[in-house]
Amino acid sequence: MTRTAPPLAPVRIRRIVAAPLLGESPKGGWSNEIRAEDSVHTLIAVKTDAGITGHGSVFTDGRLVQAALGVLEPLFLGENALEPERVSEKLHQNTFWMGRGGTLTHAISGIDIALWDILGQATGLSIGRLAGGRHQERVLPYCSLLMDEPEVMADEIAKYREEGFRAFKIGWGPFGRRDDAKLDAAIVAAAKSQLPAGGKLFVDAGASDAWWPNGLKWALRTADMLADHEVDWFEEALVPDALEDFVTLRQASRLPITGGEVLTRRQAFIPFITRGAFDIVQPDVTKVGGLSEQRRIAWLARDFGVKYVGHGWNTALGLAADLQLATALPNVDLVEYIGGSAYVDRIIERPFGLDADGMLAIPDEPGIGVTLDPDKVARYTPDGAAFFAAD
């Protein structure tokens, strides 16, 4: 006789709450620089009639996320939170004409992550197991740092090397912005000089910044310089929509070309992947459409021989989501980890920690695998009590 478990009863969405993070927002290296008191990242709480709350993260100002929730509310109230892909796609399909790819898409990203968290809690399984299984038990984090003058850059790499990091990404800051190729090379050389044995260095030009001054010829020359310094990849070398230039750069470059962090939804990635614009594609789970969309993009990339590494300049919940997808997909070996960000290191109950090999273990607890600490979160949001209040 075959025994089957009874189906799970629906878990209905009662309310979704946003908590903007501010007070210690990390600098982004932008020409219009982020201030500590700016809201750039927002936490999401999806509350249900079963008493289960799921959490997600959005790469958007909290005021915009709150407005988006007002638009989306008629579509998500009463929905079954155990069906993240269907519910998230419902939200996308019914709002794309209001501006696919902007605030609404970013907000849906956080909702989707939270729905996967709820599904994991309800089933007792981690998101990684639900989304594909456990391909990896741990992954190498690369410490993401802003570029600075050569002497300062060397000190920054040394500082985080001592904390156990073995891979680093440096980006933005003065690189490519002073029309000084010698300075760019000196910054890279300074960073390389402080790597641990066998360490990796990635370079992010940050060409999604406002009024990026350089084009294809700069990118070609800079790619040669980075290859000479044995840099492991060149990220955001061109403005985000320069598809043809990315194709040309990738064909000419001696080192891998990466990008895609500002693209949203799978439709935007199709031409970049199918045309061969990237060696490595880097969607951001907190704005691309969530875990549901990130997973689709990663599999599409794999089918075209393009590697997937999630862009993770966000929060502890964004990093936790990246870790779950890193185990759910084959051959994912890297995750981004912002160096020194309070929103990564100081909002969860058990902070992330590197092992003796500089690796991060991928949690296997139900859901997203980390737990927000209400007292810690309260330091960075105006109304933490409402965010964590039981319904």
Predicted confidence (pLDDT) per residue in 145-154, tens digit:
999 999 999 9
Average pLDDT over residues 100-128: 96
pLDDT, position 3: 66
Q: How many CA atoms lie within 13 A of 258 on its CB side?
A: 24
Q: Residue 100 pLDDT more than 90? A: no
When pLDDT is cut at 50, 70 and 90, the band that residue 121 belongs to is: very high
Model confidence pLDDT, tens digit, residues 318-339:
999 999 999 999 999 999 999 9
In the chain, the percentage of residues whose pLDDT exceeds 90 is: 94
- Between the alpha carbon of residue 306 and those of residues 42, 64, 279, the distances in Å are 30, 33, 5
The b/e string for 351-380 (b: 16+ C-beta within 10 A; e otherwise) is ebebeeebbbebbeebbbbbebbeebbbeb
Choose between 1 and 108: higher pLDDT. Answer: 108
Q: pLDDT value at position 17?
A: 98
CB-based burial label for 144 (10 Å; 0-12, 13-18, 19+):
buried
Q: Are 112 and 44 in contact (CB under 8 A)?
A: no
Q: Quick check: 198 pLDDT over 90?
A: yes
Provide mean pLDDT across the span 188-217. Answer: 97
- What is the predicted pLDDT for the residue at 55? 98
| b/e per residue 46-64 (b: at least 16 CB within 10 A) | bbbebebbbbbbbbbbbeb
Band (7; pLDDT cuts 50, 70, 90): confident
Judged against a pLDDT cut of 70, whether residue 115 lies above it is answered with yes
pLDDT at residue 99 is higher than 80: no
Q: What is the pLDDT of residue 316?
A: 98
Beta bridge pairs of residue 97 = none
**Residue 254 half-sphere exposure toward CB, CA atoms < 13 A:** 11
pLDDT at 391 over 80: no
Tens of pLDDT, residue by residue over 13-38, are 999 999 999 999 999 988 899 999 99
The pLDDT tens digits for 247-305 are 999 999 999 999 999 999 999 999 999 999 999 999 999 999 999 999 999 999 999 99
Q: Residue range 132-145: average pLDDT?
A: 98
How far apart (Å, rounded) are the C-alpha atoms in residues 175 and 157? 16
Asked if residue 316 lies in contact with residue 369, where contact means CB atoms within 8 angstroms, the answer is no
Question: Do 56 and 40 meet the contact criterion of CB atoms below 8 Å apart?
Answer: no
Does 374 score more than 90 pLDDT?
Answer: yes
Q: Answer yes or no: are the C-beta atoms of 281 and 315 closer than 8 Å.
A: no
Domains of the chain, start order: 13-125+373-388 (3.30.390.10), 129-361 (3.20.20.120)
Greatest C-alpha distance within the chain: 75
Residue 2: pLDDT band (50, 70, 90) is low
CA angle 159, 160, 164 (to 5 degrees): 125
- Report in angstroms the alpha-carbon separations of 201 from 61, 226, 238, 330, 372: 30, 10, 19, 23, 31
The token duo for 173 is 């800051």
State whether residue 220 is helix, strand or coil.
helix
The pLDDT assigned to 390 comes to 84
As a whole number of angstroms, the distance between CA 145 and CA 159 comes to 11
**Distance of alpha carbon 96 from alpha carbon 102, whole angstroms:** 9
Tens digits of residue pLDDT in 167-192: 999 999 999 999 999 999 999 999 99
Whole-angstrom distance, CA of residue 262 vs CA of residue 6? 42
pLDDT range class, residue 1, cuts 50, 70, 90: low
pLDDT tier at 388, thresholds 50, 70, 90: very high
Average pLDDT, the chain: 96
Q: pTM higher than 0.95 for the full model? A: yes
